[in-house]
Chains A and B, each alone.
Chain A
Amino acid sequence: MPRRISIRQSVMAADEKIANRLRRDLKDRGILMVNLIGSPGAGKTTLLESTLAGTDLRSAVIEGDIATSRDAERIARTGTQAVQINTHGGCHLEAHLVEKALEELALDKVDIVFIENVGNLVCPAEFDLGEDYKVAVCSLPEGPDKPLKYPHLFCEAGAVLLTKIDLNKHIPFDRELFWGDVSRLNPNAKKIEISATAGDGMQEWKALLSRWLGEKR
């Protein structure tokens, strides 16, 4: 006869424990960790490339992708150390994967660890990786209705970046709708409009990173 056994255990508990441990360890070492989340092609890697070029902040990058190490190679070309995590079909990163990636990085001279999550606007928002802030990266061509369609990410984000704003020459975009919805979902999120290719907003973004780093130390 089968017998019923109560388990009452969170499936995420083990991973949440790892995330909290990572956050504590990085805090002790004075390192800021930022988790970039956005759709495929939103411009996450390009944003990182321009962020890393010409900054005093010493960085390391963890690249999450389903397959290939292309993004890590792009980052390595800027002279910044990068580790690639391949999820082999998995649609989001989890803390235990980040833990392994951190072990591969030389962190003693690093101020900021950037994580580029798997391109996906949906579930990466649900997983705590031990980061200090999640950053929502949404590009102008995706359209201004994304915050309300994918509210969870925008609710969780410490900052919302609207990228590729140089494309507004060619593509109409209702800014009031976009930023209005972001504010309603998350009044505390820092809001920045960026063009990684033309340079708009990059100063503001780097200043935000410096402020976050300062608050951690």
Chain B
Amino acid sequence: MHELSLVKSIIDLLADHAEKNGWHRVSRVTLRIGRMRQVIPDVMKFSFSVAAEGTALEGAELEIIELPLAGRCRACGYAWEEELFSCPKCGSSDSEITHGMELDIDSVEVEDQDAPKDKHSPICNGGR
């Protein structure tokens, strides 16, 4: 359920890009997801394939890059890369999560519409 609601946001966002930029079809989507987002990749892929039906993303392959959890101690500054909620060095529980909350669309692969001959092509990639 959780994956489905995330997938809907992703598809809305990319369908919007597709329409604005005249992408004919999106063939691949790469996401960067932090471990704290509690996403199960296979569930995400399945939800994506279902929710993408009837959109420019139908049939696109979903690639998920999982990012590890990282934290930092506010008391002594020590940093770590595992699931810890208190500092292994000084024992303080005043820590912050520095990585693991990411939920980003990294990139897409698109197939373009045949470019219209009499006008400028509407295709751009947002200056990025």
Interface residues of A (CB under 8 A from B): 1-12, 14-15, 89-92, 94, 122-123, 126, 151-152, 155, 183-188
B27 lies within 8 A of chain A by Cβ = yes
Q: Is the CB of B38 within 8 A of A10?
A: no
Measured between beta carbons, the chain A residues less than 8 angstroms from B90 are none
Q: Is the CB of A7 within 8 A of B106?
A: yes
Taking a contact as CB atoms closer than 8 A, the residue among A3, A9, A152 that contacts B105 in the complex is A9
Q: Is the CB of A10 within 8 A of B128?
A: no
Using A6-B107, A11-B9, A155-B85 as known contacts, list a sample of 13 further A-B pairs with CB atoms less than 8 Å apart, ordered by residue number in A. A2-B27, A2-B111, A3-B112, A4-B108, A5-B110, A8-B104, A8-B128, A9-B13, A10-B105, A11-B10, A12-B9, A126-B38, A187-B94
Q: Is the CB of A92 within 8 A of B103?
A: no
Taking a contact as CB atoms closer than 8 A, the residue among A14, A89, A184 that contacts B4 in the complex is A89
**Nearest residue, chain B, Cβ from A122:** B38
Measured between beta carbons, the chain B residues less than 8 angstroms from A4 are 107-109
Measured between beta carbons, the chain B residues less than 8 angstroms from A2 are 27-28, 109-111
Taking a contact as CB atoms closer than 8 A, the residue among B1, B93, B101, B111 that contacts A187 in the complex is B93
Q: How far is the CA of A151 from the CA of B111 in the complex (A)?
A: 43
Q: Is the CB of B104 within 8 A of A123?
A: no
Q: How far is the CA of A64 from the CA of B104 in the complex (A)?
A: 26
Q: Is the CB of A5 within 8 A of B125?
A: yes
Binary per-residue interface labels of chain B (1-17) against chain A in the complex, 1 for a CB within 8 Å, 0 otherwise: 11011100110011001
Measured between beta carbons, the chain A residues less than 8 angstroms from B104 are 8-11
Measured between beta carbons, the chain A residues less than 8 angstroms from B94 are 187-188
Measured between beta carbons, the chain A residues less than 8 angstroms from B107 are 4-8
Interface residues of B (CB under 8 A from A): 1-2, 4-6, 9-10, 13-14, 17, 27-28, 31, 36-38, 85-86, 93-94, 97, 101-112, 125, 128
Q: Is the CB of B110 within 8 A of A3?
A: yes
| Most chain A Cβ neighbours within 10 Å, of B10, B13, B86, B94 | B13
Q: How far is the CA of A1 from the CA of B107 in the complex (A)?
A: 16
Interface residue SS majority, chain A = mixed
Which 3 residue pairs spanning A and B have beta carbons closest together?
A: A2-B109, A7-B105, A91-B1
Q: Is the CB of A90 within 8 A of B93?
A: no
Q: How far is the CA of A94 from the CA of B9 in the complex (A)?
A: 11
Q: How far is the CA of A70 from the CA of B107 in the complex (A)?
A: 43
Q: Is the CB of A91 within 8 A of B5?
A: yes
Q: Is the CB of A7 within 8 A of B17?
A: yes
**Nearest residue, chain B, Cβ from A6:** B107
A-B contact pairs, 17 of them (CB 8 A): A2-B27, A2-B28, A3-B109, A5-B109, A5-B125, A7-B106, A7-B128, A8-B106, A8-B107, A9-B13, A11-B9, A14-B13, A126-B38, A151-B85, A184-B93, A185-B85, A186-B93
Measured between beta carbons, the chain A residues less than 8 angstroms from B5 are 90-92, 94
Q: How far is the CA of A186 from the CA of B85 in the complex (A)?
A: 9
Taking the closest CB of chain B, its distance from the CB of A127, in whole angstroms, is: 10
Q: How far is the CA of A19 from the CA of B31 in the complex (A)?
A: 23
**Nearest residue, chain B, Cβ from A66:** B1
Q: Is the CB of A11 within 8 A of B6?
A: yes
